[in-house]
Structure 1
Amino acid sequence: MATNYSAGRMPLDEQVIARAGRRVSWGAIFAGVVIAVAVQLLLGILGTGIGLSMVDPVEGTTPGATGFGIGAGIYWLITTVIALGAGGYAAARLSGVTEKFDALSHGLVVWGVTLILTLYLLTSAVGGLIGGAFRTVGSVAGAAGATVGAVAPRAAQVAGIDARDVRQEASAYLSDAPNDPAQMTAEQAQTEIARQLPALAHGGAAGQRAENRIVDVVAAQRKISREQAQAQVTRAKAQFVETKNDAVATAKSATDAAAGAAAGTSFILVLALLAGAGAAAFGATTATRRRLR
């Protein structure tokens, strides 16, 4: 009985066995990642064009920031699903796998590699540019400060001025105001009150001395009795405390709102990533089902 052989052709069963020993095709995964990133970029540029076409400052029909942000988020989710679905389909199709689980694995790996690549590009490129800019500004500022610090004493020496004389002259300028509040000008009184406010806010014995000093200045400047000045200072303190409490409450409310928004954004981002993983897996299994047919 004669046996016929086909030269240069491998039987279908042997092809399946050869591919079964190779469960992961990194070349196909790389190709799927490239396709996913390319599709994402293409649709992102298209979405940017669509968004810019909606801006019409002349007619005043530009959508609001909230609606525009929601629309951009929905569009980003749709483009992510399409891009990862295409990448997963291409990876499973090019890998030559015949098992649904193998195709599913290829799709999920495409999703993971695309996610890691995206995060790497964002943190390395953008973060590197921003960090480099801040480092440059810091270096320039540090160099300028060091230069000024080195040149100032030398300039003073050339001019024949001692640093202690400069400090004494500055102290003289600062202590030029008379100690008696009745002899102070309006500007000197305001300066004195401003100088006492930190101690007043701190409280304690120093705060009580600062309050007494402010009361004396107010009474002398407005030419009223000390009791009337004390009442005015007390009302001012009460208004300051009320304003501070309102500011603290507003800050707490804003912090709570920001935390809630950040938590909601995190949940939405997780759902979007899971949707992308599902799209990559669905595209990969779809390619496998078509191959099996």
Structure 2
Amino acid sequence: MTYNPEPLSSEVAEPTIVNTAVNYHDRVRWGPVLAGIAIALTGQLLLSALGAAIGLSAGATGADAGSVSLAVGIWSIVSLLISLFLGGWVMAQSCGPMTKKTAILNAAILWGSTLALSSWLLASGISGAAEAVAANAGEIADRVQQQGGVNIPNQVQNVDPNQVRDIAGNTAKATWSFLLGSLLSLAAAMIGAAVGARKPRVYI
């Protein structure tokens, strides 16, 4: 009785190597977060400039001021959403493979940092303008004195209650718009990070 073994194949199956998503030890990746902040601020600046240019052009052609103001306000929120979505996407793409939970956590940090930095830049601009006015206040006072002074009314004009209500209403609308835009921008940053999170790569 003879035994004829089957010839062994010369091909050896290579093992499949899977690069799984990494849960980093600290979970906060400041390098990608800073990159996302830079993209978000740059995008917000460019989109705001675009909206301002369109609004000023429309105002120069005689468009209704109320409609232009409403359009500018809506565009401000839309541009904020777009810029933070891009910032979250770039942040996630700058990292290695990670879980969506980690990407969303980093997106929340990106959103908070961007909002705080934008507020600081806005406050710095306002304070800079106030300092410029204060620095020139002495020169303005000297010119007024040289011209013989200025007549200051003894009584301040009474404010109409309707005007007070209008001011309060406009302030309330602006506050609610800011709150809504901030929450929507947080969602946009998280969605961008979830979309941009790099999937695990499979090497065969």
TM range (shorter): 0.7 to 0.9
**CA distance in 2 between partners of 1:141 and 1:50 (Å):** 38
Summarize deviations over 1:99-125 as a string: whole Å, max 9, x none. Answer: 212111111111111111111111113
| Alignment partner of 1:42 is 2:40 | no
Residue 31 of structure 1 corresponds to 35
How far the C-alpha of 1:141 sits from its partner, in A, is 4.1
- Secondary structure in 2 aligned to 1:20? coil
> Tell me, what secondary structure is at the counterpart of 1:103?
helix
Partner residue of 2:184?
A: 275
After alignment, is 30-39 or 97-106 more displaced? Answer: 97-106
User: Aligned AA for 2:199?
Assistant: R
Number of aligned residues:
174
Structure 2 Cα separation of the partners of residues 34 and 256 of structure 1: 40
| CA distance in structure 1 between the aligned counterparts of 2:127 and 2:163, rounded to whole angstroms | 27
Residue identity opposite 1:42 in structure 2: L
Q: CA deviation at 1:45?
A: 2.1
SS state of the match for residue 291, structure 1? Answer: coil
Aligned to 1:225: none
Output the CA distance in 1 between the equivalents of 2:32 and 2:57. 38
Normalised TM-score (structure 1): 0.53
Aligned-residue identity in percent: 29
Task: Rate the CA distance shift 1:98–1:270 in 2: closer, same or farther, 3 A.
Answer: same
Deviations 1:33-73 (A, max 9, x none): 1011111112222223322333455xxxx211110000111
Tell me, which stretches of 5 or more residues in structure 1 are unaligned?
A: 1-10, 146-197, 199-246
Give yes or no for the alignment of 1:106 onto 2:14. no
Match of 1:287 in 2: 196
1:23 and 1:97 in contact (8 A); partners too: no
Unaligned regions of 5+ residues in structure 2, if any?
A: 1-16, 146-153
Q: Which has the larger radius of gyration?
A: 1
Match of 1:190 in 2: none
Are 2:52 and 2:72, in contact at CA under 8 Å, matched by a contact in 1?
Answer: no
Q: Deviations over 1:126-174 (max 9, x none)?
A: 31232232244148749x99xxxxxxxxxxxxxxxxxxxxxxxxxxxxx
Q: Which residue of 2 aligns with 1:169?
A: none
More helix by proportion, 1 or 2?
1
Structure-2 change in CA distance of 1:105 and 1:138 (3 Å): farther
Residue type at the aligned position of 1:76: S
Alignment CA distance shift 1:55-1:256 (3 Å) = closer
Pick closer, same or farther for the CA change 1:131–1:76 going to 2, 3 Å. same
The question of whether the paired residues in 1 share the 8 Å contact of 2:21 and 2:99 is answered with no
Evaluate the alpha carbon distance shift between residue 55 and residue 258 of structure 1 in structure 2; reply closer, same or farther with a 3 A threshold: closer
Tell me if 1:251 matches 2:139: no
1:12 is displaced (CA, Å) by 5.6
Contact 1:20 1:97 in 2 (8 A): no
Alpha-carbon spacing, 1:72–1:135, altered in 2? closer, same or farther (3 Å): same
Structure-2 separation of matches of 1:136 and 1:285 = 51
CA distance in structure 2 between the partners assigned to 1:123 and 1:139 by the alignment: 25
Once the two structures are TM-superposed, the CA of residue 269 in structure 1 deviates from its matched residue by: 1.0
Where in structure 2 are the equivalents of 1:52-63 lying within 5 Å? 52-57=56-61, 62-63=62-63
Shift of 1:21: 1.8
- 8 Å CA contact 2:37–2:114 kept in 1: the answer is yes
